Structures are given as C-alpha cells and as structure tokens.
C-alpha cells in the first residue's frame, strides 16, 4: 500500500478533502495532517465528516500574518514529512498551508498530487495570496487533478503535460451531495432562523477575503443597507467570519436594520441549508461559488476577478466587485426580473474523489 500524507489547514480544505480521505482511508496507508489554522471553524467539520486528523500542528495564533504562518509552519512540516516518509503528499487548492506543504515535499523530493489544480484569475494579487500559491503548486506538482476542462486548459497553456492532468470535477460537490442525503438536524436555532426568514426574499452574504478588508467591506455593507431600503420584503443573513477585520468593520458601520441578521458561523451542513433557503448569494468566497452553482442559486461575486470563469459563463454568477452602486444595480436587476435559475453540474457530478482514488490506485 502506498503511504500518502494529506495536508490541510483551513475550513474549505477540510470540506473539499473529506470525501477523498473517506475514499483513501481503507485502500492506502493514509496519514492526515491538520496545520491548525482555522481551529474554531475546523473542529466541527471533523465530527460532521467522521474523521480526526492523525497530526495537529496547532499553529493557530490571533492576528497571525503570512510571515508568521510561513516561519512557523515550514519547519514543522519538514519534521512531520521526515518522520512519516510518505510516497506522495496531497494538497488541495491554493491556501498558504497547501503551498507550504507542497514546497516542503519538493524540498524533500516527495511527489505532490494537487487537488483542484488549474484555477486562474490571471491577476497575481486577486485573490491574494491564493493566485500565487496555486501557480507555485502547479510548478511543483507531479499530478494535477483539475475540476474543469478550463482548468486543464490553463495548466496546458503553462506547459503542463496533458498526461499529468486528470479532470475530475470538484470534490466540494461530493461533500455537498453527501450531506444533502442526510436527514436535517432538528436544531432549534436554525429552525427559528428559517421561520424568521420564511416570508419574502432572503439573501445570504459572506465576506472574509483580505482584499475586502477595510473600505471595500464598508462599501459592501452600504450596498446591503440600500438594498434593504429598496426591498421591504428582503432579509439578509450574514454568518460573521471570526476575523477581527470583519468584526471591526461591522462594528464601525453599525448597519441598523432588523432585516439584516448576523449570526455566528454555522456548521457546514447547516450552511448548505442556508444556501438552499436563500434566493441569491453575495460572496467573496471561492467554494461558495461552486456550492451555489450545484444548488442552482444566483451568485453575486464580491471581487474584481474570479478564477471560476465557468460560473460567469453559465449565467449563474455575476462579478460585481465591491463598488456600492454596481452591487445595488446588479442585484436590483435580478430582483426586478423573472430570471429563473437551476442546478448546474459545471463543477462535477459528485464523483471527483472516486476518480482521484481510482487514478491513485491504477496509475501510482
């Protein structure tokens, strides 16, 4: 059996790697390593997806920047990889934890397998630092598991051999489908929230990206305030990210409207329920763009660039940036139209992890 090390640090990585961990745990000598970056957001996922990391580096620190993360994480990853001696290291996406894990494996000459390879915004600072991270991982990886044909084309344009790329779909759809098949939990707070927003229209908003800290976030809140004034039947739900920059901006703006409802971050299965319940989504998240498409929800992307061009091409997504007027205009156009949306399989059919497992067993 091949010895495989899977490294993850953030909540999205855990969600997207959980289906692959489930596929590999009984057919490989598997070790899972959590860097410990998103402690409060990560731990509920381990219970939800029924696994506990074999190693937890516990590097979480308040107000930790990229320099702190890099200097703390690299030596610990080196020590873990020397101890485990994996045949392959698997990383997902474009986080700094993924890039540093890939770099550590490269320094130790361990082949890297990259899940969700080939996303490109073609602007090095948008999103930051993810665009650079994923480009660097592509230069290191031996095998690239691309979610879409466009991602594959991006890699080939950069000189990656086609025989090193496998188009799989995105594992987030696997995770999403697995949870949709479970019975809904009878959570009193969630049930109350659903009842509170059952009449009229509901929007779900998430904002957390570094580029949107400060004035861009205040611009977004101003747009939300204007939309609430324009549409008396509209309610806006916002799970508030624990990042102090997000918390401080909310406190500074003081959006006082009873139909602007802030809640603590909820468990992933509950968050999926919120997407299903909403009429449209406002987000700067990458994964939520994919989840919303799989559930057929209109998405307004609060960025100047997106690496998920397929979403825009499908008509389910629109790029608004953080300009107040632009956000209000695009959402108003949608709310005043009879535009219908439907579920879309641009990010796969829920079998991505199975395809990756089969490739590992058959080819490696």
pLDDT score recorded for residue 85: 98
Asked if 3-170+348-363 and 188-335 have one fold, the answer is yes
Q: Which residue has the tokens 């009229």?
A: 200
pLDDT score recorded for residue 209: 84
Task: Using the predicted structure, report yes or no on whether residue 338 has a pLDDT greater than 90.
Answer: no
Please classify residue 174 by burial: count the beta carbons closer than 10 Å to its beta carbon, then call 0-12 exposed, 13-18 middle and 19+ buried.
Answer: buried
229 catalytic? Reply is no
208 catalytic? Reply is yes
- Kindly list the domain boundaries of the chain, sorted by start residue: 3-170+348-363, 188-335
Q: Catalytic residue, from 213, 241, 267, 277: name it.
A: 241
Q: Side by side, which strands form the sheet with 201-206?
A: 260-263, 234-239, 201-206, 280-283, 298-301, 317-319
pLDDT score recorded for residue 227: 97
Mean pLDDT for the stretch of residues 315-338: 94
pLDDT digits (tens, 9 = 90+) for 208-238: 888 888 899 999 999 999 999 999 999 999 9
As a whole-number percent, the residues of the chain with pLDDT over 70 amount to 100
pLDDT score recorded for residue 34: 97
Q: Catalytic residue, from 201, 210, 267, 277: name it.
A: 210
Measure the CA–CA gap between 206 and 281, rounded to whole angstroms.
8
Measure the CA–CA gap between 32 and 151, rounded to whole angstroms.
26
CATH class of 188-335: alpha beta
pLDDT digits (tens, 9 = 90+) for 26-83: 999 999 999 987 777 788 899 999 999 999 999 887 778 899 999 999 999 999 999 9
Mean pLDDT for the stretch of residues 299-305: 95
Closest C-alpha to 115, from 46, 175, 40? 175
Mean pLDDT for the stretch of residues 80-93: 98
Tokens of 77: 């990853």
Please provide the average confidence, as pLDDT, over all residues in the chain.
93
User: In angstroms, how far is the first alpha carbon of the chain from the final one?
Assistant: 10
Contact 203/118 with Cβ under 8 angstroms? no
Q: Catalytic residue, from 13, 22, 23, 130: name it.
A: 130
Task: Using the predicted structure, report yes or no on whether residue 195 has a pLDDT greater than 90.
Answer: no
Return the CATH number of the domain spanning residue range 3-170+348-363. 3.40.50.2000
Task: Using the predicted structure, report yes or no on whether residue 361 has a pLDDT greater than 90.
Answer: yes
Measure the CA–CA gap between 139 and 173, rounded to whole angstroms.
26
210 catalytic? Reply is yes
Q: Catalytic residue, from 13, 22, 23, 116: name it.
A: 116
pLDDT digits (tens, 9 = 90+) for 236-286: 999 887 777 778 778 888 888 999 999 888 889 999 999 999 999 999 998
pLDDT score recorded for residue 336: 93
pLDDT score recorded for residue 245: 76
94 catalytic? Reply is yes
Q: Per residue, what are the HEC states of 159-181?
A: CCCHHHEEECCCHHHHHHHHHHC
pLDDT score recorded for residue 312: 94
pTM, whole model, 2 decimals?
A: 0.91
Q: Catalytic residue, from 43, 87, 126, 208: name it.
A: 208
Provide CB contacts within 8 A for 109, sequence distance 6+: none
pLDDT score recorded for residue 48: 92
């Amino acid at each position: 059996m091949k010895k495989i090390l899977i490294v993850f640090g953030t909540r999205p990585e855990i969600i997207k790697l959980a289906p692959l961990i489930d596929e590999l745990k009984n057919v490989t000598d598997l070790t899972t390593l959590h860097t410990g970056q998103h402690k409060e957001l990560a731990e509920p996922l381990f219970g939800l997806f029924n696994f506990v990391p074999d190693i937890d580096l516990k590097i979480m620190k308040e107000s930790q920047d990229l320099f702190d993360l890099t200097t703390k994480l690299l030596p610990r990853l080196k020590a873990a990889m020397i101890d485990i001696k994996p045949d392959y290291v698997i990383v997902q996406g474009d986080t700094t934890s993924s890039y540093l894990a890939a770099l550590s494996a490269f320094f130790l000459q361990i082949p890297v397998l990259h899940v969700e390879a080939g996303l490109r915004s073609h602007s090095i600072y948008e999103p930051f630092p993810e665009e650079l991270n994923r480009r660097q991982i592509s230069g290191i990886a031996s095998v690239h598991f691309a979610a879409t044909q466009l991602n594959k084309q991006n890699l080939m344009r950069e000189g990656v051999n086609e025989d090193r790329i496998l188009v799989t779909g995105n594992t987030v759809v696997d995770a999403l489908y697995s949870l949709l098949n479970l019975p809904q939990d009878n959570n009193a707070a969630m049930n109350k929230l659903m009842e509170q927003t059952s009449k009229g229209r509901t929007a779900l908003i998430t904002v957390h990206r570094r580029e949107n800290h400060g004035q861009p976030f205040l611009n977004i809140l101003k747009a939300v305030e204007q939309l609430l004034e324009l549409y008396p039947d509209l309610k806006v739900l916002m799970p508030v990210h624990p990042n102090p920059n997000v918390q401080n901006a909310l406190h500074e703006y003081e959006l006082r409207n009873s139909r602007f409802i802030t809640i603590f971050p909820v468990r992933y299965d509950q968050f999926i329920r919120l997407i299903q319940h909403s009429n449209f989504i406002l987000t700067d998240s990458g994964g939520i763009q994919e989840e919303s498409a799989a559930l057929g929800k209109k998405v307004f992307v609060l960025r100047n660039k997106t690496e998920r061009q397929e979403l825009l091409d499908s008509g389910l997504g629109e790029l608004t940036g953080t300009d107040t007027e632009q956000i209000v205009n695009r959402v108003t156009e949608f709310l005043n139209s009879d535009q219908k949306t439907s579920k879309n399989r641009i990010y796969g059919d829920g079998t991505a992890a199975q395809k990756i497992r089969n490739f590992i067993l058959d080819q490696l």
